[in-house]
Chains A and B, each alone.
Chain A
Amino acid sequence: MTEVVIAGYKRSAFQLANKGAFTKTRSDDMLAEVVKALIAETGVDASLIEDLAVGCAFPEAEQGFNIGRIVGQLAGLPQSVAGVTVNRFCGSSMQTIHDAAAKIMAGAGEAYIAAGVESMTRVPMGGFNPMPNPGLAAQSAAYISMGETAENVGKKHNIARVAQEEFALKSHQKAAAAQAAGKFDAEIVTIGDVKTDGGIRGDASLEAMAGLKPAFDANGTVTAATSSPVTDGASAVLVCSLNFAKKHNLKPLAKIKSFAVSGCAPEVMGLGPVSATHKALERAGLKLSDIDIIELNEAFAAQSLGVIKELDLPVDKINIDGGAIALGHPLGASGARITGKAASLLQRENKKYALATMCIGGGQGIATILERI
């Protein structure tokens, strides 16, 4: 089968929604800058790109009108490059990578831009016209709030509040260290004058976290500090066949070894990565012990710890530059970020296999396994 690689990864700085530097920036403008930078940096001939796929969890208003096509035009891509919007909530832009890989494997094109964006400031979670199916809403947890699912995972696995806070603190400390060491510089595209992530708190402390009220359940354990913040951001990767990369002198970061999605109960959507990871590992013919680098999207600390427990993940391999609790989780953009990040970490850390996985609202998981080239 055609071998598919990730040959470039860029993202915007991630900024807190409603107060950060991107509150006045449209999603499409933000992503267009990232796509332009990705093309410029990889040196790919844009006219050879089949499609620009944009993951977005709430594709309406400024994120509507098939934002995939809109961003292509804003970024100055040739008219021949198509554009599509993909929605799998938090897994949206990882899905764009899967779609690109599958199509390349099927012989439908050689190069894709797989991207994602979310302005959680300008299009709120739930969108402007939330109209759930009343029958389903009455009898199932299909529309359950994300915070509540985190509480459920926490309860299921007896995850103490302090354990969540320690996990969150670690995320901030790792991200702050990475930021200080300039480890994000290569991936972040400067937009306006914004070139650093806004949510990282190197000064976070367990004492301050302990003082917060539960954010979702008065008797619960999940707080704002142990949840990923609502965030504005964009990300993109270049996905192409290995042959295409070689032919056009691109620098592939990693090979896409396998991928999978899987459904689970909406009440514990945070555990979605468990079955998705099992499926992806099996498809790759690998064991968890073969994996050197893990990017696990930190929707919530309780959720991450639940996944770590169920999969028995080695903690020191996870999110070595920090995760979404510190960096933020702009829904549609996170999947391409963690997959692109995992690919570049394989290079930087000189490791063989990486796993990128995330949970998805409504009860799903998605996973990708990469192999360094």
Chain B
Amino acid sequence: MTKPIQKVAVIGAGVMGAAIAAHMANAGIPVHLLDIVKDPEDRNKVAREAVEKMLKTSPAPFMHPKNAKLVTVGNIEDDLSVLKDVDWVIEAIIERLDIKHDLYAKITKNRGADTIISSNTSTIPLHKLIEGQDKDFQSHFLITHFFNPPRYMRLLEIVTGDKTKSGIADRVGQFGDVVLGKGVVHCKDTAGFIANRLGVFWMTTAINAAFDQKITVEEADALLSKPIGVPKTGVFGLVDLVGLDLMPHLSKSLLDNLPKDDAYRSAYRDIPLINKLIADGYTGRKGKGGFYRLNTDGGKKQKEALDLQSGDYKPEKKAELAAGDAGRKGLRAVLTHPDKYGEYVHSVMIPSLHYAASLVPQIADDIISVDSAMQMGFNWKFGPFEMIDQLGVDWFIEQCEKLSLPIHDLLQKAKGQSFYKTENGVLHFFGTDGKHHPVKRAEGVLLLSDIKRAGTPVAKNGSASIWDIGDGVLCVEFHSKMNAIDTDIFAQLQKATQLIGDGKGNYKALVIHNEADNFSVGANIGLALFALNVGLFGQIEELVEAGQKTYSMLQYAPFPVVAAPAGMALGGGCEVLLHADVVMAHAELYMGLVEVGVGLIPGWGGCTELLFRHKAKAGPKSGPMVAPIKAFETISVAKTSTSAAEAFDLLYLRDGVDRVVMNKDRLLFDAKQKALELAKDYAPPVKDRTIALPGPSGKAAMMLAVGDFQKKGAATLYDGVVSEALADVLSGGKDADATVPVDEDFVLKQERTSFNKLVRNEGTLNRIQHMLDNGKPLRN
């Protein structure tokens, strides 16, 4: 049994160090954040100001402002004694070996016997870092390379050396995985580790090729993004994001440390235009701009892009290219598209994938590590080896040969095969030994994709499937477009409920989960608009009632229902979660009742549930306005959580009931365990809640507030109409009175009435149309 890591110190309160400390706090780990003394009068100033700054940074390094309290600031002159009580010290100071060595000497004097030390270096090899350190230090030392920003980037590269004691990497890896929620990838002690080495090669190749082939910045980014499964920043946008000035540092460290014959050396080029940009302060988004900039001259905002040939900024011209559209037909269609754009992508991707293929096992033991690193470190949808599989290994080798690229051992061995394949329902990967091996998941990791690979669904329609995830637990998976909720999803939820029955047969519990980026963005408003445009109000009314019935059925089912969402859970997607027995929430959960944005109110029990939750929180003796006002404040402005932690504040999640899971890969396992635990002696909730609502007096108060918001310009004219419909629900409407408690069916009926009133308004239809056309709410 290894000792769990319970307390951490981070030395270096720069952008990375501070944000790593913040993420420790996000995980509930108390952390010391130390930096140098710059002001003798205010000795902790550097670290303290770093924390203060993070509380104002967007995207926020903290998942909740209260997490800042877990960060204890200090300085390395007065506070090194705290190191003896911490389990792990992370060094995240300037990338200078001499300064790091000075610090390590101080750490050695102050650390506890079992304290692990790691560096967050991205450029200095481990063997240089431990040079001259004592043996015990060396045996407790490793590199833990977080990606910026650490809260949001999943990758954690762990590098150990020969001298690192066995078990240390596992201890840190386990902690990184379970507690911090990171995707841990073990790397060899080679320059740039995995992600930066491959990423920098890819970016360099793409930039050089754009210069050579006269491809514009906009064109390059339009091609090297969605069409090939890469984030929309593409290449130039990505350099702007990470900072142009970072690139020379990364390339220098690679050139200093890579083998003499490494392909990067020939790919590397010093580009005078980029040097000039950096010198002039065009360092990217953090500076005056980079390959893109926002020109605000003359009071107007104009997005401009750099013309690589002339070096001047010109108004951005969004590129719409047939080669990009070909991405829908697969990666190979993009690379073989018969124009200069297809050629461009080919000239970037073949060498980049070839570079990756040439580096296993030098940089990592297996191809999974390489693929995972690029997926989690650069947010690529597919790793290099998955991409080679998509292209076809043999075709890929042909292309490499055409470019006179050497075919290394691993590629040779893979000829005629693929890097990944499914055998007996189990995913296998191609090993350096030339054989396929089953992919093993860590204990506590259960992936729906693995279950899907292994079998067929219990039931399936166009929008959702039911999977048997073992031990008597069913899982409903949404898979409609953007996981929008529709009647097909209701049908599968109902079907699963029937299958489980009283929970005493073959099945005993239900989990609602999917592996998409977003759990669900809400109801399918496209379908709703269609029905409304042809006047099928009856159909909409049925849909509203069906949703209420389905969600209520989940809430009062004779078996436990556990939801395991990640990403966005909005509108109807939020409401389904409100009706689960327990939500096992991924830490990055963005939950909100956002219906007002499309001129509606939550109609599937969202108003009702939030109202009863606020009442329960305020207590039975709270006045009749307390719960309605709170729910009104949340729903009327579509408050959405920026993390699971914040969802508790909004009562979208319940203290003591719902849980947060840091690692997305562990969601389903934890949800299943929770469902099984609940299934023992499960007693469904009794439907007996009542609430005293204020009626017209309460509505008057809400509408007075809305009037004030409208006057100050914070609410629009139509917001007033939507708010009134919401006030009718939350106040209980014209017949409610504070002396006569009502039950939840009463409130649900108010929801339906208000919803059905709104859908008949032009203003609501305009909002829905606008949202579908522009992806943004209409402010009518």
Bound form: Cα–Cα A130–B633 in Å: 14
> Contacts A129-B624, A130-B625, A131-B624; is A218 near B711 (CB within 8 Å)?
yes
Binary A-proximity of B699-726 (CB < 8 A = 1, otherwise 0):
1110110011001110000000000000
Of A137, A217, A218, A220, which one neighbours B704 at CB under 8 angstroms?
A137
- A131 and B623 CA atoms in complex are apart in Å by 10
Q: Is B708 a contact of A145 with CB atoms below 8 Å?
A: yes
Q: A131-B694, A131-B698 are in contact. Are A148 and B704 (CB under 8 A)?
A: no
Q: Please pick, from A138, A145, A148, the residue contacting B700 in the complex, using a CB distance under 8 A.
A: A138
Beta-carbon contact of B711 and A129 below 8 Å = no
A145–B623 Cα distance when bound, in Å, is 22
A215 to B698, CA, bound (A): 24
B residues in contact with A217, CB < 8 Å: 711-713
* Chain A residue nearest to B702 in the complex (CB): A130
Q: How far is the CB of B172 from chain A (nearest CB, A)?
A: 40
Please judge, given known A-B contacts A137-B704, A143-B704, A145-B704, whether A132 and B697 are in contact too, CB under 8 Å: yes
B501 contacts the other chain (CB 8 A): no
Interface presence of B696 (CB below 8 A): yes
Q: Are B712 and A134 in contact (CB under 8 A)?
A: no
Cβ of B407 under 8 Å from chain A: no
A216 to B700, CA, bound (A): 19
Residues in A whose Cβ lies below 8 Å from that of B701:
126, 130-132
* A79 contacts partner chain B, Cβ-Cβ < 8 Å: no
Q: B708's contact among A134, A214, A216, by CB below 8 Å, is which? A: A216
Q: Which residues 167-194 of A have a CB within 8 angstroms of B? A: none
Residues from chain A with Cβ under 8 Å of B37 in the complex: none
Q: Chain B 679-699 against A: per-residue CB contact (8 Å), 1 yes, 0 no?
A: 000000000000000101111
> Chain A nearest CB: distance from B55 CB in Å?
14
Instruction: Report the separation of the CA atoms of residues A131 and B694 in the bound assembly, to the nearest whole angstrom.
Output: 8
Q: How far is the CB of A21 from chain B (nearest CB, A)?
A: 19
What is the bound-complex CA distance between A126 and B704, given in angstroms? 11
List CB contacts (< 8 Å) of A100-145 with chain B.
126, 128-134, 137-138, 143, 145
Contact yes or no, B697 A133, CB < 8 A: yes
A173 vs B708: C-alpha distance in the bound complex, in angstroms? 31
How many angstroms from the CA of A145 to the CA of B713 in the assembled complex? Answer: 15
Q: Name the contact of A129 in the complex, choosing from B626, B696, B712 (C-beta under 8 A).
A: B626
How far apart are B617's CB and chain A's nearest CB, in angstroms? 13
Choose among B623, B697, B698 the residue that contacts A128 (Cβ–Cβ < 8 A). B623
A147 within 8 A of B: yes
Contact: A134 with B625, CB < 8 Å? no
> What residue of chain B has the Cβ atom nearest to residue A137's Cβ?
B700
Inter-chain contacts of B704 with A (CB < 8 A): 130, 132, 137, 143, 145
Complex interface: chain A residues within 8 A of B696 (CB): 134
Q: Which of B609-634 contact A (CB under 8 A)?
A: 622-626, 629
Instruction: Report how far A145 CA is from B712 CA in the complex, Å.
Output: 11
Nearest CB on A from B136, distance (A) = 48
What's the least CB distance linking A216 to chain B, in Å? Answer: 5
User: Which residues on B sit within 8 Å (CB–CB) of A148?
Assistant: 708, 711
Binding site for A on B (CB under 8 A): 622-626, 629, 694, 696-701, 703-704, 707-708, 711-713, 738
Listed by A's residue number, 5 A-B pairs whose Cβ atoms lie within 8 Å are: A128-B622, A132-B697, A132-B701, A133-B700, A214-B713
Measured CB to CB, the residues of A under 8 A from B are 126, 128-134, 137-138, 143, 145, 147-148, 214-218, 220
- Told that A131-B698, A145-B711, A217-B711 touch, could you supply 11 new A-B pairs with CB distance under 8 A? A128-B622, A129-B694, A132-B701, A132-B704, A134-B697, A137-B703, A147-B708, A147-B712, A148-B708, A214-B713, A217-B713
